[in-house]
Amino acid sequence: MENGAEGVQPTANTYAIVLKTWLRYHADPAAAPPVTAAEVHDPMALLRNIISRQIAPALVVADRAFTTNEEATEAIKALSRAAVQMGLISVVNELGLAESLGRTVDDPLKDVPEATPVTKPKYGEDGSVTEIATDEPSPTPAGDIPFNLETLRRHLGQVILARRVLSEDLVLRQRMLEQSVYNVAVERMKRQAELFDQLGLPNKSLHSADLRAWMWHWHTKLQARIEAEIKELEVEERVIARLKRRSKDETQLSPFLRLLNPEKLSLITILELMHLHGSGGVQDGMKTARALLAVGRAVESEYKAEMCKKNNISVPNSNPSRPGDQNVFTNLGYRDLYARRVAARKYMEDSEEWTSEWSQLVRVKIGSFLVDCLMDVATVQRSVKDPRTGEIITEEQPAFFHSYEYLRGHKLGVIKFNPAVAERMSKDPIGDTLHPRHLPMLVKPKPWLSYNNGGYLYNRTWAMRFKESREQELYLRHASDAGRLELVFAGLDVLGSTPWKINRRVFDVVLQVWNSGERFCKIPPAVPDEPEPERPPNMEFDNKAKTIYLERQKAWMQARAANHSDRCSINYKVEIARAFLGDTIYLPHNVDFRGRAYPIPPHLSHIGDDLSRGLLLFGEAKPLGERGLRWLKIHLANLAGYDKASFDERVEFVHEHLEDIFDSAERPLEGRRWWTKADDPWQCLATCIELKNALDSPVPEQYECALPVHQDGTCNGLQHYAALGGDAVGAAQVNLAAADRPSDVYTYVAKMVEESIQRDLEQGNEYAKLLAGKISRKVVKQTVMTTVYGVTFIGARDQIERQLKDRGDISPELCWLGASYVAKKVLASIANLFTGAKEIQNWLNASARLIAKSIPQDRLVQSFQEPLPKSGTAKKQPRWKKEQMTSVVWTTPLGLPIVQPYRAIKRKQVMTALQTVFISDPNVPSTVNSQKQASAFPPNFIHSLDATHMMLTALECRAQGLTFASVHDSYWTHAGSIDQMNAIIRDTFIALHSSDVLGALAQEFRERYADYKVPLAALGGQYFKQLKLNPDSLNLSPEDVKTLTEAVVEEPEAEKPSEAALAEDEEEPEDEDVDEETGKTKKRRAKKGMRSVAEIEQRLAGKFVNLVDILPPLPEKGKFDVKTIKDSQYFFS
């Protein structure tokens, strides 16, 4: 019948009979009767024929050939699996709707109302804003749903349909979830445009048409334009190749453009430009260089994602084949991990030659080609009313145009949106596209098999997040290939395989609050409720009053914008939580360049805010036990803010508030709302519910609880410093030493600051009068916590300013000056309290500064053998300066190489059709930023230590059968497992710090940089004295010593940001030498008789010393014994 030999066309009934036959005899290959291959029509072949004959799949599954509901359900599932394999999302949706009409299984979303989406003002045809009544709730939101939220809602709708039709096949559901965002977008835009076409809108009043309709019309024109341009390009490249006029650096573009079809290229270009709207500080547009690179990267990523699906890359089975098996390795231990991963990797290596990275030049050329095509064809119609005649004048204008702007005094090429397009997006900068990487997984993540192979099943993910640091990638790849990252990969597998589920009780409360639109427990209101500042009557005559009013008006506008942004962020969380109700979900992890682990999905995970954490439970529940019940009560006291008392006092606190706890659990919104007063209200509500359920059960100790219970370190960075230096005084302040009550370093520092302020008050200091009695623990907490991570005076001042403003009893205009005063005292108090930490910090800083100034001996010799540059062509400087490319590199105890990425970025000029753009090429060698290398090393090193401690704890918890999750220095498990996890935390911390971490680091430096030389001129001024160098051991003459001690220490002036720098993403601000009173940059001035750096370099030209000879000695270690941590019950609590 299919080939026309029978003279009869197959119908829906024909396909239903064939499908029923296949289900009965061939669904189970072991039981299939012996028939020839030609007679077998599997569901994929049937579906292909059904679609080619334009027969609705829903008619096939509804045919009378299926006599029972069970047969029809099996038919729907078989065709749905085939549709997922073929990438036919619309067919899955159609079958999902058909199946939902006749299903009898309970739907988790049956009684769950939809979340009211965030809206932005709705504009009338004359440009006026439609009034939105807020007196009573509206069943449908008035206004427009932002584009990115609408994208999320539509995609999650497909996730929900997939659950209905593929409820038992999680791997297929995950595959559907990871379908490319561009495949989803094309159907959405096409459907919306068809609706407007049917209504006859494209030819009139298009200025108020839907944004997606415009995008669809651009797509239809751009698709044809790309196809024609590629053909012309291929002809041109053939002619050039025949004439042999191609330069060495020139790359043929047509092979790259042919990797994807024109439809996909068109969609990528449109969506990427829309998502960059308002980025990089450009109003209603984007930086040209950033746009071209983004489009090029998106084309590369989409091609690789398609190759993953086309090659059907095998994934290790997520279901254990034998009891005890977990993915690639077992619970018996972590022996032979490398051999097991190599075996698993063989499944994937055959078809992955295409995975090599594209160069920045190729990316920007591809982006330029596609963006240029889009700007030629994308247009919008704008209509205005002539104020004199009343006539409507319509004009077709480009949707995008190229221009130049001045940003911070530098000329910058930008791509701008037509005002009509910009208006539609003005309240909704589309910064996030809904990629599958933004959602949790439905199956356990793929085990990490190498540095770029793990996590999501069909989308490539890297084990480390590094921003175009080619050096870090090379170190990571080498360590991975050598098998030295097995414990890191195993730790990521442990974190990713922790099952989660949505807390339905908390979600119901969140949804009710959200749909009410009121401000409640960190959820901002739907309509901003802060009153606008009143305009002072004397504003025109009083400059001070005018300044204050303008500052308050600016703050009010920023608060309104932040309110909308926060609503959108929470809307993401609510929508994702609703879509995954009833599912077990998983969060794949990777690490940053310091080794700290993060969940890859950013919107809803346990590393998020209080709301995110309150919405999550472990996927499996475990009995509390007697100790677990006690820890559940302690956890509730901690969340309520009563976390500085002893454990017994915290339990007693809960007993005293049992009535409030029960009221919170039973009537969270209608009752007394005790839970809303907690520091972490949503987590507090979740714990109230669990504790009530446990106490209401016949045997509370046997209640099975899925709530994660936390154990947090006390200022964990200072804990590591105290252990490294054996600092007994510092150890006591951060609970390393045993004590009856927990020490609170934040309160201690706050008291020290308050005492200092009281002394200033006696002397009449005006800031002391303003701030006396107002320095609470909360004001200084963040600064104390981040001091150990290298916070500068400016950073500390900004942190304290925010806390002073939040108090509400200090005028906002005085907070900045008051914060400067307090920050100085906080930093001084910490330095006096943690002298051991300061000594180690200074040693790390000095070592990093010397390493960044050093040069490998072979490069030094080669640089002096190179011919001199022509005189007058460039500013004369010593040859060795361009060879200072040494980054600080070290290896964590788990074998992870850490490379600090701070370099003076070199940029390359590329001519494109739009403009000349500058791109940074990570493959081009460039000198290091020695100041940033030195200042960032102490915090980065401590971060790598706390990441190592967390990974060791995760591995040991898995080995002992505990469920484990972490947020850096906050470790989570079931309440009944807390005692066991506490013992593991202490054992792993002791094991880590019993291994002479600093001694191993110093030895690694001496081995890694054994043949590196430091220019003598780089050691001048105070730096020579600080290092306490011995001139005799370095063979320095008295004249050299005199020259060095008379030198002016000058850091090279920071380069003014060029157009190239402005075109890239914002870099971290560099540390500056600042005046602590004013916060202004201090300029170093040479004293009389002191020599300039240029003079010193000329005097000491060609003189070098061995780096290992001048590395400072390790600070002397104190007497604190790290093994005593075993007796400290408040070390993590």
Catalytic residue from among 77, 573, 633, 781:
781
CA distances from 231 to 33, 237, 257, 752, 1131 (A): 52, 10, 10, 74, 68
Catalytic residue from among 77, 825, 969, 1013:
969
Token output for 981: 């996890």
**976, 625 contact by CB (below 8 A):** yes
Return d(Cα 85, Cα 30) in angstroms, integer. 22
**348, 452 contact by CB (below 8 A):** no
**Which phi-psi region, left, alpha or beta, contains residue 670 (left: φ > 0; alpha: ψ -120 to 50)?**
alpha
Helix (H, G, I), strand (E, B) or coil at 1091: strand
- Of 930, 882, 933, 924, nearest to 906 (Cα)? 924
- The per-residue DSSP string of 793-817 comes to HHHHHHHHHHHHHHHSSS-HHHHHH
CA 824 to chain centroid? 32
CA 672 to chain centroid? 37
Query: Is 712 labeled as catalytic in the residue annotation?
Result: yes
Token output for 254: 């047509």
The residues with which 971 forms a beta bridge, in sequence order, are 711, 966
- Of 191, 406, 199, 200, nearest to 283 (Cα)? 406
Return d(Cα 427, Cα 146) in angstroms, integer. 8
Nearest-10 crossing angle of helices 658-666, 647-656: 60
Q: Give residue 399's identity as a one-letter amino acid code.
A: A
Say which DSSP state 27 is in: S
Greatest Cα pair distance, the chain, in angstroms, is 107
Token output for 768: 């002391």
Catalytic residue from among 712, 987, 1071, 1121:
712
Query: Is 643 labeled as catalytic in the residue annotation?
Result: no
CB atoms within 10 A of CB 1011: 13
Helix (H, G, I), strand (E, B) or coil at 381: strand
HSE at residue 1004, side-chain half, CA atoms within 13 A, is 17
The kind and range of the H/E element at 50 are helix 43-52
Query: Is 781 labeled as catalytic in the residue annotation?
Result: yes
Say which DSSP state 311 is in: T
- The per-residue DSSP string of 650-702 comes to HHHHHHHTHHHHHHHHH-TTTS--GGGGSSSHHHHHHHHHHHHHHHHSSSGGG
Instruction: Provide the H-helix boundaries in 38-169.
Output: 43-52, 57-61, 69-86, 89-102, 147-165
Enzyme catalytic residues: 712, 781, 969
